[in-house]
Chains A and B, each alone.
Chain A
Amino acid sequence: MITVVRAGPLTTVQDMGRPGLAHLGVPRSGAADRGSHRRANALVGNPEEAATLETTLLGCALRAEASLVVAVAGARCEVFVGGVPAPWGAPFRVGPGQTVDVGPAHAGLRSYVAVRGGIDVAPVLASRSTDRLSGLGPEPLADGHRLPTGAAPEAPDHLFGRPEAAPAHATELELMPGPRHDWLASWAALTGQEWRVGSGSDRVGVRLEGSPLARSRDGEIASEGIALGAVQLPPSGHPVLFLADHPTTGGYPVIGVLTPEAVDAAAQARPGASVTLVLRGGSA
């Protein structure tokens, strides 16, 4: 059992989400930066399906009721156990009654805190993820919350992952032309400017601000399915990069689709940061 000492601005339980239910209107959800979630789990010997804690910008603090093995990946930050520095990107032990403090992100936005055995809150539709769009899954963490941890997997310590290098926090996001790329008047206008990450960005999507993009045509398209990483062009001309909690269908044209690596990088882009979109493999 873990007690939340400092929840931070938005810390949620996340796993690999609820794939396979989009036809019922259920968002995929799950960790916004899936690569970092996987690495945090690997560091403590968990399978990728184990639930981690996803912090936002300012980290969180947790008190262990029993001895725990913990690792922090994703956005790089200071980590303390009982006030003593602990490694980022490597597993460490937290004794009973000790508090692990995951500090503000030095770079990036979301750190992932994995506990050996996983966070064992009750699953909803086979996932423990908090979905900020639909409200499925557990509430975001609040001070004083108690979180059960699962039984430690049978993995010897030498199978634990190796210490991680900090992710590059790419400011270049690779994308491919999307199914409705012909709605975009100028591909160069999309890839040729520095976009600013808008303050309205969240787990649903990264909202880009810059010179609005013109459409090549008027009208609307009938609602169609949306894939993870879709770059949608609303009438405002400001593109939205869809992350884990994206809606399952939408009526604005999808002009591009981020690569899986770019989805993870976009999930680490802070509001106010600059990003550019780079076409992957050839021209549109």
Chain B
Amino acid sequence: MIVRRVGHHAVLVEVDDAAAARALHAECVRRREEGLLAAVDIVPAARTVLLEGVSAALVEEIPGWDVPALPAEEAAPVVIPVTFDGPDLAEVARQWEVSVEAVPRIVLAAELRVDFCGFAPGFAYLSGLGRAVARRESPRTAVPAGAVALAGEYAGVYPARSPGGWQLIGVTAARVWDADRDPAALLAPGAPVRFVEAP
């Protein structure tokens, strides 16, 4: 664990992998809920957790924390129905060296989890595919809301129409983001997720 200062009011904690980042994020949230940590934002990412709105003294304190590993899955997964009709299915199949029909099977079998959010409100980086996909060489100027896509080691669902460079494999009617709903985000860091075939 490496703790770095980020200006006057933030620290960045770097850990070994995504699982350690999830565990550290959970520990930070627990400490904040118990009044042991004052932080405005706790932002997990691939291998880091950023704490914003904190005292710089945390740089010395955090390495002494006991961060328990996350327990095996206890929460029910968020289920996202997907229609696999994306324009990049063939490209993903080519990269994975499988048939086009095999791509949905692989994605449906994956036990996914939200590693972190970013890019846009409600855009969750879902790990657990077990294989990687190169992003498109030139991003699309407009990807529709609900597009289910792959890039790097992650799967994701576009929460709103936006430019995007991920490989599109399908679409869902699930609204992963609705600012008027509470909670606005369907997929929060740490949540287990399963894709199912839309009826």
Summed over the interface, the residue pairs from A and B with CB atoms below 8 Å come to a total of: 117
Across the interface, do B6 and A25 meet the contact criterion of CB distance under 8 Å?
no
Task: Give the contact stretch, choosing among A97-105, A151-159, A222-230.
Answer: A222-230
Query: With A225-B52, A227-B7, A230-B6 in contact, is A135–B160 under 8 Å at CB?
Result: yes
Chain B residue numbers with a CB within 8 Å of A225 are 12, 41, 43-45, 48-50, 52
B119 at interface by CB-CB < 8 Å: yes
Query: Which residue of chain B lies nearest to A28 when distances are taken between CB atoms in the complex?
Result: B41
Task: Give the contact stretch, choosing among A42-50, A112-120, A194-202, A246-254.
Answer: A246-254
Query: Which residue of chain A lies nearest to B161 when distances are taken between CB atoms in the complex?
Result: A135
Contact of B41 among A22, A175, A250 (CB under 8 A): A22
Across the interface, do A25 and B8 meet the contact criterion of CB distance under 8 Å?
no
Chain A residue numbers with a CB within 8 Å of B120 are 25, 134
Query: Which residue of chain B lies nearest to A257 when distances are taken between CB atoms in the complex?
Result: B7
Query: With A22-B41, A23-B189, A224-B46 in contact, is A260–B119 under 8 Å at CB?
Result: no
Contact of A24 among B8, B49, B160, B185 (CB under 8 A): B185
Q: Mark B60-74, 1 if CB is under 8 A from A, else 0.
A: 000000000000000
Count class of interface residues, chain A:
35 or more
Count class of interface residues, chain B:
35 or more
Tell me how far the C-beta of B124 lies from the nearest C-beta in chain A, rounded to whole angstroms. 8
Query: With A223-B118, A224-B45 in contact, is A178–B184 under 8 Å at CB?
Result: no
How far apart are the CA atoms of A19 and B124 in the complex, in Å?
19
Q: Tell me the chain B residues, 73-125 only, with Cβ under 8 Å from chain A.
A: 116-125
Query: With A23-B188, A259-B7 in contact, is A249–B43 under 8 Å at CB?
Result: yes
Chain A residue numbers with a CB within 8 Å of B121 are 21, 24-27, 134, 136
Q: Mark A12-25, 1 if CB is under 8 A from B, else 0.
A: 00000001111111
Across the interface, do A222 and B117 meet the contact criterion of CB distance under 8 Å?
no
Query: Which residue of chain A lies nearest to B116 when distances are taken between CB atoms in the complex?
Result: A249
DSSP majority for the A interface?
loop
Across the interface, do A258 and B116 meet the contact criterion of CB distance under 8 Å?
no
Across the interface, do B40 and A19 meet the contact criterion of CB distance under 8 Å?
yes
Q: List 16 A-B contacts (CB under 8 A).
A: A20-B41, A21-B121, A23-B42, A23-B116, A25-B119, A28-B41, A176-B7, A179-B12, A224-B46, A225-B49, A227-B7, A227-B9, A230-B6, A247-B118, A249-B117, A250-B118
A sample of 19 more A-B contacts (CB under 8 A), given A23-B41, A224-B48, A249-B118, is A19-B53, A24-B188, A25-B119, A25-B121, A134-B120, A136-B121, A179-B4, A179-B5, A222-B47, A223-B45, A223-B46, A223-B125, A225-B43, A225-B52, A230-B6, A247-B119, A249-B119, A257-B7, A258-B7
Residues on B lying within 8 angstroms of A by beta carbon are: 4-10, 12, 25, 40-50, 52-53, 116-125, 160, 179-180, 184-185, 188-189
